[in-house]
Structure 1
Amino acid sequence: MVLAVRDLGKGEDAAARITARTPGAALSLQRLDLSDLASVRTAARELRERHERVDLLITYELQRRLADRHTTVALAAHPGGASTELTRDTFPPLRLLIDRLVLPLAAQSAEMGALPSLRAATDPHASGGQYYGPDRVLGMRGHPRVTRSNGKSYDTGLQRRLWSVSERLTGVVYPV
């Protein structure tokens, strides 16, 4: 879990209280001041660099397993920052700040957010293992294009381990 905090000292105190109540909790801190757009951009970039996306690890492993079959491909897509009411249950003053300050600069319409998935599903030139996302503003807005995910998502050892752990924990083994 990532704790997004304005004050790292207070965040460390909160993390200590959480881990005291829940030993073994995996926590990290991310400095984030929602009143400062530069802080929001920095936090978004740092989070993307630091945390691999599980869906990409699974997609890339699935593509490797499908590659010899030449009949099916595995593709990934992300909507960027799409205005889809994700803040509707947020504390009202914070929601107002996000809705009025952050979303107009960093998000796009839900319709634009749907385009990367639609392109991945319909692009006749799609190749297995491709990743589609918006083409502008740090991958948060724009029309869909083939893009690169973070470096950790290309770690084949991590991909294989995640696949194996997923099969073991769910009891579902896929014949690929």
Structure 2
Amino acid sequence: MSGNWTEQHIPDQRGRVAIVTGANTGLGFETARMLAAHGATVVLAVRDVEKGRRAAARMTGDVTVQALDLTSLASIRSAAADLRAAHPRLDLLINNAGVMYTPKRATADGFELQFGTNHLGHFALTGLLLDRLLPVSGSRVVTVSSTGHRLRAAIHFDDLQWERSYSRVGAYGQSKLANLMFTYELQRRLARHGTTIAVAAHPGVSNTELVRNAPAPVRLPVTWLAPLLTQKPAMGALPTLRAATDPTVTGGQYYGPGGLGETRGHPTIVSSSRDSHDQATQRRLWTVSEQLTGVTFPAPVTTPSAISGREREG
């Protein structure tokens, strides 16, 4: 596609059902808003239902709210059960929610907060909903990573929960590297069956609430220089939206801003770190993630009668 990809390039989404996690503010809000504006049925999967309702009220289209706390496997299972009951088929699962540079804390299940929320929570949710996507032609799982996947990032299998020592930056980098490894491994598992695809995206440096947990030496300069260093959430959401809707996407790709060191600009295919493509580590992370969450993914089944959004609409 020539030229800069913008909101105007989003195809008609009527007949498609999209779930967006963390959609009551920032990037998730803009992602959900634009999908709904183009005709999708959108579910805001959020921890704070009241904030989610206020966000939904600011959108046009078919928008509902689902309680989802990614720091709790019980909440994830409950939300997945609700979503499965309400939506026999899904077109888009957008794993957008995340936390960044938090103080050392654990989830309800004892996972380090950033790894538990950003990776394990979305891993579990995807596994519990995947069979609703598999029969649907053109369905996608889009997971939001970050340029932070390159920053002091590794998968620390000897101390995944950072129990021996803790680094806010290192833990965040691990979680975002895990997002990419999950996407690449999921795409490899799906590729033989030709229906659902897995894609990753990152927003560049966007002016959102995500930095609120950063240490003051990081948070304050970013806040002061935000107009110069960051782009608006509506621009930051475009890589995710392109990954979710562009008909040229084939799966296993990574979208991010195309300008100024991937900090800002219109979305394009970008590269990820060499470590993110290590297939042995991807497979090991997948196995460990299944063990930690207790969620086993359904095996994709080739189906000649995959259901398109247009067929369902009629």
Q: TM-score range by the shorter chain?
A: 0.5 to 0.7
Aligned 8 A contact 1:77 1:131 in 2: yes
2:269 pairs with 1:146: yes
1:116 corresponds to: 239
2:253 to 130, 155, 160: 130
Q: State the 1:91 CA deviation.
A: 7.3
Deviation digits for residues 21-48 of structure 1 (CA, Å, limit 9, x no counterpart)? x962254989xxxxxxxxxxxxxxxx97
Q: Which amino acid counterpart does residue 240 of structure 2 have in structure 1?
A: S
2:64 corresponds to: none
1:67 corresponds to: 191
Considering fraction of residues, name the structure with more helix.
1
2:223 corresponds to: 99
Q: State the 1:127 CA deviation.
A: 1.0
Q: Which amino acid counterpart does residue 54 of structure 1 have in structure 2?
A: A
Over 3 Å counting, the alpha-carbon distance change for 1:53 and 1:23 in structure 2 is closer
1:174 to 297, 301, 306: 297
Deviation digits for residues 107-148 of structure 1 (CA, Å, limit 9, x no counterpart)? 110100010011011110001101000001111100000111
1:84 corresponds to: 208
Deviation digits for residues 42-63 of structure 1 (CA, Å, limit 9, x no counterpart)? xxxxx97x99611000000000
Name the % identity.
50
Aligned 8 A contact 2:201 2:254 in 1: yes
Q: For structure 1, which runs of at least 5 residues remain unmatched after alignment?
A: 3-21, 31-46
Question: 1:86 and 1:172 mapped to 2: Cα distance?
Answer: 28
Over 3 Å counting, the alpha-carbon distance change for 1:162 and 1:92 in structure 2 is closer
Q: State the 1:85 CA deviation.
A: 2.6
Q: Which amino acid counterpart does residue 272 of structure 2 have in structure 1?
A: S
Question: 2:208 and 2:194 mapped to 1: Cα distance?
Answer: 36
Q: Which amino acid counterpart does residue 163 of structure 1 have in structure 2?
A: W
TM normalised by structure 2 equals 0.39
Q: Aligned pair count? A: 140
